[in-house]
Amino acid sequence: MEVSVLGIDLGKNSCSVVGLNGTGKVVVRKRMRRETVLTFAAALEPCVVAMEACCGAHHMGRALATQGHTVRLMSPEYVRPYVKAQKNDDRDAEAIAEAATRPTMRFVELKTQEQLDMQTLHRIRDQLVGERTSLMNQIRSLLLERGHIVPQGRAKLAVRLGEMLEAEEPVLGLRIHRLVTDMRARWVALDERIADLDAEFVEAARTDEQTRRLLTIPGIGALNATALVAAVGDARTFGRGRDLAAWLGLVPRQATTGGKPRLLGITKRGSRYLRKILIQGARSSLPTMSKSDTRLGAWVRGLLSRAHQNTVVVALAAKMARIVWALLRHGRTYEPTLLAA
């Protein structure tokens, strides 16, 4: 049986498999469990194995790559146009196999276990930060209902909370006092867990060569650098820096017709987390960047003179993404170019 392209629609327990021969004709159409897929693929001659880039795809892809197959992962939104008529698992597997044969298709780089582990740590940290923010807002609303208004800021809330809970005369009712004490203990525990993860990111940034390169960019810290290296992987996947910025959703959307270009807001495609931390890094470095005697500083000052600060922050984040690509692609460190005297 000749199979040139094997399309796999991954499921939690079972998978749909469709095989195409050299002419594009369907020669295999089966449904099997995940473990059986590896056994079935091992009996085939090396071929192209295509899957959607979803949960479990990278683990399955690495196992298939060790068998000699060429693994191609694709974004689900690029596979959807190839689904014919009614949608089911078999049609999805056939669409995956057909999409993998297109010469203009964009593929996702297969990630290593270390990259996936680092991305998992970032997801956990982001979840913990969200839990801490939700807990702080709940404490603020609880105090506001009892006439205690606390200024904005995490540090101010912590100081005010300590004064109220450690006062000689009770400020809150006995039951609410115990409740708020328990909520503060949960807050402290979340702070400790987030600090442990931050320390782990700093240590990882010291030991990895690619991450150390990114740390030379203004506005890029250990958190941004480790997340970008884990997500981007091989920078050669992107043809140029703008492609990486577009992958992060930092370029304008287009509505062009009749040869008349019309640019809208940023696309907000790709990873929301990566885009968020890049924009936060750009916002923190903007005051220093706008005062520097470098070409990048002059570019920032020119933007500030004709655009809103928030627009400049996003533009600077897109510029940082391009610099990240250049450093990872060419193996260099960031060296700011000074303005001519």
Q: How many whole angstroms separate alpha carbon 194 and alpha carbon 126? A: 9
Q: What tokens does 134 get?
A: 């939700």
CA distances from 149 to 2, 134, 142 (A): 73, 17, 10
Residue 147: its pLDDT value, please?
87
Parts of the chain with a pLDDT under 70:
340-341
For residues 312 and 286, the answer to whether their CB atoms sit within 8 Å is: yes
Residue 341: its pLDDT value, please?
55
144-166 pLDDT, tens digit per residue, is 998 889 988 899 999 999 988 88
For residues 319 and 294, the answer to whether their CB atoms sit within 8 Å is: no
Farthest-apart Cα atoms in the chain, separation: 84
CA neighbor of 317 nearest in space, from 274, 287, 288: 274
CB atoms within 10 A of CB 267: 16
Residue 158: its pLDDT value, please?
92
pTM of this prediction?
A: 0.88
Residue 170: its pLDDT value, please?
81
Q: How many whole angstroms separate alpha carbon 214 and alpha carbon 280? A: 16
Residue 237: its pLDDT value, please?
87
For residues 24 and 2, the answer to whether their CB atoms sit within 8 Å is: no
